[in-house]
Chains A and B, each alone.
Chain A
Amino acid sequence: MAEALVIRGLSKRFGGLRAVQDLSFSVREGETLALIGPNGAGKTTSFHLITGFHRADSGSVTAFGRELVGLAPHQICAHGLARTFQVARPFGAMTVLANVMTGAFLRDKRPDVARAKAREAIDFVGLGAKAESQARDLTTIDQRRLEMARALATQPRLLLLDEVMAGLNPAEIDQAVALVGKLSARGLTIVIVEHVMRAIMAVARHIVVLDHGQKIAEGSPQEVVANPEVIRAYLGTGYAHAPAPVAGAAPC
Chain B
Amino acid sequence: MRKLMRRGGSWVGVLAAAALALPLVVTSSFAIDICIRVLLFAFIGVAWNLMGGYAKQLSLGHAAYFGLGAYTSSILLIDYDVSPWIGMIAGGVVAMLASLPIGALCFRLRGPYFAIATIATAQVLMLLFLKFRDFAWGAEGTTMPNLGSAPLMMQFEGKAPYYYIALGLLALALAITWRIERSYLGNYLIAIGEDEDAAEAIGVNAPKVKRDIYMVSAFLTALAGTFYVQYIYFIDPNVAFSFNVSVEAALVSIVGGIGTLWGPVLGAVLLEAGSALLQSFLGSGRAGVQLTVYSLILMAVILWRPTGLMGLITDAWRRLAPRAPGKKVSGHG
Q: Which residues of A contact B (CB under 8 A)?
A: 51, 53, 72-74, 77-78, 82-83, 85, 89-95, 97-98, 101-103, 105-106, 109, 111, 114, 132-134, 150-151, 153-154
- Residue from B187, B200, B328 within 8 A of A101 (CB atoms): B187
Q: How far is the CB of A49 from chain B (nearest CB, A)?
A: 14
Q: How far is the CA of A73 from the CA of B183 in the complex (A)?
A: 22
- Residue from B188, B201, B331, B333 within 8 A of A77 (CB atoms): B201
Asked whether, in the complex, the Cβ of B200 is within 8 Å of the Cβ of A72, the reply is yes
- Residue from B182, B197, B259, B328 within 8 A of A95 (CB atoms): B328
Asked whether, in the complex, the Cβ of B187 is within 8 Å of the Cβ of A102, the reply is yes
Across-interface contacts of A132 in B (CB, < 8 A) = 326-328, 330
- Residue from A85, A89, A111, A154 within 8 A of B203 (CB atoms): A154
Asked whether, in the complex, the Cβ of B202 is within 8 Å of the Cβ of A102, the reply is yes
Asked whether, in the complex, the Cβ of B194 is within 8 Å of the Cβ of A105, the reply is no
Known A89-B198, A132-B328: A77·B203 in contact at CB below 8 Å:
yes
**Chain A, Cβ-Cβ closest to B184:** A105
Q: Can you list 10 pairs linking A and B with CB atoms under 8 Å apart?
A: A73-B200, A74-B200, A74-B203, A93-B194, A98-B187, A98-B330, A102-B187, A102-B204, A105-B187, A106-B203
Asked whether, in the complex, the Cβ of B190 is within 8 Å of the Cβ of A93, the reply is yes
Across-interface contacts of B331 in A (CB, < 8 A) = 94-95, 98
Of residues 184 through 198 on chain B, the ones whose CB sits less than 8 Å from some CB of chain A are: 184, 187-188, 190-191, 193-195, 197-198
Asked whether, in the complex, the Cβ of B184 is within 8 Å of the Cβ of A114, the reply is yes
Q: How far is the CA of A82 from the CA of B202 in the complex (A)?
A: 7
Asked whether, in the complex, the Cβ of B184 is within 8 Å of the Cβ of A83, the reply is no
* Known contacts A74-B206, A78-B203, A95-B331, then 7 further A-B pairs from the complex at CB < 8 Å, ordered by chain A residue: A53-B200, A74-B200, A74-B205, A89-B197, A91-B194, A94-B331, A154-B203
Across-interface contacts of B183 in A (CB, < 8 A) = 109, 111
Q: How far is the CB of B66 from chain A (nearest CB, A)?
A: 29
Asked whether, in the complex, the Cβ of A51 is within 8 Å of the Cβ of B201, the reply is yes
Across-interface contacts of B206 in A (CB, < 8 A) = 74
Number of interface residues of B (CB under 8 A): 28
Q: Binary interface profile of B, 55-99, with partner A (CB < 8 Å = 1, else 0)? A: 000000000000000000000000000000000000000000000
Q: How far is the CA of A114 from the CA of B183 in the complex (A)?
A: 11
Asked whether, in the complex, the Cβ of A89 is within 8 Å of the Cβ of B195, the reply is yes
Across-interface contacts of A82 in B (CB, < 8 A) = 201-202
Across-interface contacts of B201 in A (CB, < 8 A) = 51, 53, 73-74, 77, 82-83, 85, 151
Across-interface contacts of A91 in B (CB, < 8 A) = 190-191, 194-195, 198-199
Asked whether, in the complex, the Cβ of A85 is within 8 Å of the Cβ of B198, the reply is yes
Of residues 151 through 187 on chain B, the ones whose CB sits less than 8 Å from some CB of chain A are: 182-184, 187
Say if the beta carbon of B7 comes within 8 Å of chain A. Answer: no
Q: How far is the CB of B262 from chain A (nearest CB, A)?
A: 17
Say if the beta carbon of B131 comes within 8 Å of chain A. Answer: no
- Residue from A93, A95, A134, A153 within 8 A of B202 (CB atoms): A153
Across-interface contacts of A153 in B (CB, < 8 A) = 202
Across-interface contacts of A51 in B (CB, < 8 A) = 201
Asked whether, in the complex, the Cβ of A134 is within 8 Å of the Cβ of B187, the reply is no
Q: Binary interface profile of B, 257-285, with partner A (CB < 8 Å = 1, else 0)? A: 00100000000000000000000000000
Asked whether, in the complex, the Cβ of B333 is within 8 Å of the Cβ of A134, the reply is yes
- Residue from A102, A109, A114 within 8 A of B199 (CB atoms): A102
Across-interface contacts of A103 in B (CB, < 8 A) = 202-203
Across-interface contacts of A73 in B (CB, < 8 A) = 197, 200-201
Best-buried of B187, B188, B195, B205 by chain A (most CB within 10 Å): B187
Across-interface contacts of B195 in A (CB, < 8 A) = 89, 91
Q: How far is the CB of A159 from chain B (nearest CB, A)?
A: 12
Q: How far is the CA of A89 from the CA of B192 in the complex (A)?
A: 12
Asked whether, in the complex, the Cβ of A105 is within 8 Å of the Cβ of B190, the reply is no
Q: How far is the CA of A78 from the CA of B202 in the complex (A)?
A: 8
Q: How far is the CB of A84 from chain B (nearest CB, A)?
A: 8
Across-interface contacts of B133 in A (CB, < 8 A) = none
**Chain B, Cβ-Cβ closest to A89:** B198
Q: How far is the CB of A120 from chain B (nearest CB, A)?
A: 16
Across-interface contacts of A97 in B (CB, < 8 A) = 330
Q: How far is the CA of A74 from the CA of B201 in the complex (A)?
A: 6
**Chain B, Cβ-Cβ closest to A51:** B201
